[in-house]
Amino acid sequence: MDVSVLQQYAPMLLRGFGITIFCWLFGTVLGIVLGLIIALIQRYSPKPVRWLLQVYIEVIRGTPFLVQLFVLYYGGPLIGLRLDALPAGLLGLTIYGSPYFAEIFRSAFRAVPEGQIEAARAIGMTEATIIQRILLPLGLVSALPALVNFSIILTKETVILSIITVPELMYQVQRMSTETFRYVEANLVLALFFWALVEAISRVGRKLETRITKHLIERT
Amino acid sequence: MFSIQTFLDSFEPLLWAARYTLLVSGLGIALGLVIGALICAAGLSRWPAARRFAAIWVSFLRGVPLLVQLLLMYYLLPVIGINVPAIAAAVITVGICASAYISEIWRGAIGALPRGQAEAAVAIGMGPRDVWGRIILPQAVVMSLPALVNELILLVKASSLVSVVGILEVTRASQAQAAMTFRPLEVYIAAACIYLAINLCLAGLGRYLEHRMAV
Residue B196 is nearest to which of A59, A190, A196, comparing CB atoms? A59
Mean pLDDT computed over every residue of chain A: 89
Mean pLDDT of A38-59: 93
User: CB distance A191–B67 less than 8 Å?
Assistant: no
Q: Which chain B residues contact residue A68 at CB under 8 A?
A: 192
Distance in Å, alpha carbon of B31 to nearest chain A alpha carbon: 21
The confidence score (pLDDT) of residue A38 equals 95
Mean pLDDT of A10-33: 93
Per CATH, the number for A3-219 is 1.10.3720.10
Mean pLDDT of A44-65: 93
- Do A4 and A138 touch, CB atoms closer than 8 A? no
Closest CA to B192 of B9, B14, B13, B6: B14
The confidence score (pLDDT) of residue B4 equals 86
Burial call B7-23: b when 16+ CB within 10 Å, e when fewer: bebbbebbeebbebbeb
Q: Which chain A residues contact residue B22 at CB under 8 A?
A: none
Mean pLDDT of A5-23: 87
Closest CA to A73 of A56, A100, A96, A53: A96
Domains parsed from chain B with CATH numbers? 4-214 (1.10.3720.10)
Tell me how far CA of residue A22 lies from CA of A64, A90, A166, B94, in angstroms.
Answer: 22, 9, 12, 28
Query: What residues contact residue B134 under an 8 Å CB cut-off, 6+ apart?
Result: B121, B126
User: How many residues are present in chain B?
Assistant: 215
Mean pLDDT of B36-46: 92
Residue A194 is nearest to which of B65, B164, B188, comparing CB atoms? B65
User: CB distance B164–A163 less than 8 Å?
Assistant: yes
Mean pLDDT of B122-143: 88
The confidence score (pLDDT) of residue A182 equals 81
Give the whole-number percent of chain A exceeding pLDDT 70: 96
What residue spans define the domains of chain A?
A: 3-219
The confidence score (pLDDT) of residue B189 equals 93
Residues of chain A with a CB closer than 8 angstroms to some CB in chain B: 58-59, 61-68, 70-71, 74-76, 78-79, 156-160, 162-163, 170, 174, 183-184, 187-188, 190-191, 194-199
* pLDDT bucket at B215, cuts 50 / 70 / 90: low
CA–CA distance, B60 with B50 (Å, rounded to integer): 15
- ipTM of this complex > 0.90? no
Is some CB atom of chain A closer than 8 A to the CB atom of B175? yes
User: CB distance B196–A163 less than 8 Å?
Assistant: no
CB pairs under 8 A between A and B: 120
Closest CA to A69 of B59, B164, B2: B164
* pLDDT bucket at B187, cuts 50 / 70 / 90: very high
Mean pLDDT of B116-140: 88
User: CB distance A187–B63 less than 8 Å?
Assistant: no
Residue B171 is nearest to which of A64, A188, A190, comparing CB atoms? A64
Highest mean pLDDT among A28-37, A165-174, B169-178: A28-37
Q: Is A124 helix (H, G, I), strand (E, B) or coil?
A: coil
The confidence score (pLDDT) of residue A217 equals 65
* pLDDT bucket at A2, cuts 50 / 70 / 90: low
Is some CB atom of chain A closer than 8 A to the CB atom of B55? no
- Do A102 and A38 touch, CB atoms closer than 8 A? yes
Q: Which chain A residues contact residue B174 at CB under 8 A?
A: 67, 70
Amino acid identity of residue A137, one-letter, is: P
The confidence score (pLDDT) of residue A65 equals 96
Mean pLDDT computed over every residue of chain B: 90
* pLDDT bucket at B211, cuts 50 / 70 / 90: confident
Burial call A133-148: b when 16+ CB within 10 Å, e when fewer: ebbbebbebbbbbbbb
pLDDT at A219 over 60: no
